[in-house]
């Protein structure tokens, strides 16, 4: 499944974004191992927040993103991860130069965020 023609595939996304994905997908053991270092996501609704940098928004199968971007800037020994998130598990994409600190505080407190 991919977005309908005339939507995000034709929109050039650059920089950092916030993705809301299906928690059930993010909590799959194999996915969780990669995006959360194996840590289980706390119970709640079926959403999970990922802060990432867009690599490619034109793949019809999904959105290519880079994880650990901020951690890598602070510590170059932290490995950058490039992953493709299937379109059918993406619930929302947020684009902004900078997101409000209270958003991150609440997301961390709730335990449903994977940061770059």
Model pLDDT for residues 66-113, shown as the tens digit of each residue: 887 677 678 787 778 899 999 999 999 887 666 556 565 665 565 545
The pLDDT > 70 percentage for the chain reads 66
Please state the pTM of the whole predicted model: 0.71
pLDDT attached to residue 53: 85
pLDDT attached to residue 112: 47
Distance CA 110, CA 23 (A): 13
Is 71 part of a structural domain of the chain? yes
Q: What are phi and psi of 69, to 5 degrees?
A: -60, -50
- Domain span at 55: 11-114
Tally of domains within the chain: 1
How many other CB atoms are there within 10 angstroms of residue 49's CB atom? 23
CA geometry: angle 63, 41, 2, nearest 5 deg:
20
Residue 36, pLDDT > 50, answer yes
Distance CA 24, CA 105 (A): 22
Is 2 part of a structural domain of the chain? no
């Amino acid at each position: 499944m991919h977005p309908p023609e005339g939507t995000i595939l034709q929109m050039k996304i650059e920089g950092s974004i916030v993705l809301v994905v299906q928690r059930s997908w993010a909590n799959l053991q194999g996915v969780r191992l990669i995006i959360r270092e194996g840590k289980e996501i706390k119970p709640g609704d079926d959403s999970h927040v990922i802060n990432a940098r867009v690599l490619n928004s034109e793949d019809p199968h999904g959105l290519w993103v880079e994880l650990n971007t901020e951690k890598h800037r602070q510590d170059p020994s932290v490995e950058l991860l490039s992953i493709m998130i299937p379109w059918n598990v993406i619930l929302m994409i947020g684009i902004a130069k900078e997101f409000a600190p209270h958003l991150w505080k609440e997301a961390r407190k709730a335990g449903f965020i994977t940061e770059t």
